[in-house]
Amino acid sequence: MTKYVTTEDQRWQGIDVRGVTMEACRLWEGDYNVRSGFFRMPKGMQVPMHHHPYWVQVFVMSGKLEVEAEGEEAHPIAAGGYYFVEPGESHVETAVEDTLLLVVSEEEREELRLRPSTH
C-alpha cells in the first residue's frame, strides 16, 4: 500500500547523533531493509569521526556541508548534491551553512537483514 506523508504529518524531535543533538524527522523505518529521514544541522555543527556498519546515502536538500572521509580532504557538498558512505568507512560531517539532509540507509536491525526478499 502506498504511504503518503504531508508536512503536517512529519514529527520532528531532537535526537543524539554521535554525541551531537540535532533535529530529525523519521520518514520510513522498519520494512524493506531500508530507512530514511530528514536531519537539520545548524551552521557550525559537526558530527565527529564515526562509521556505520551499513551503507548510508545523504542528499543535501538545502544548505552546504563538508564531508571528510578518514585520510581524505574535506569535500563540500551543496544543495542538490549527495554522498554515499560504504559500510565501515569513517567520516566527519560539518555544516558550513544551516543544512537540511535526507538520509537513506540500510536498516541496522539484524532481524530485518536476515529476512528473505519477496521480490
User: With 50 as the cut, is the pLDDT of residue 101 above it?
Assistant: yes
Q: Is residue 40 part of a domain?
A: yes
CB 101 within 8 A of CB 37: no
Q: What is the mean pLDDT of the chain?
A: 86
Q: What is the pLDDT of residues 49-84, one digit of tens each?
A: 999 889 999 999 999 999 999 899 999 999 999 999
Over 80: is that where the pLDDT of 31 sits? no
| Count of structural domains, the chain | 1
C-alpha cell recorded at residue 54? 551499513
Residues 6+ apart with CB under 8 A from 90: 49, 50, 51, 69, 70
pTM: 0.81
In-domain check, residue 27:
no
Domain enclosing residue 62, as ranges = 33-113
Domain assignment present for residue 22? The answer is no
Within a domain: 6 = no
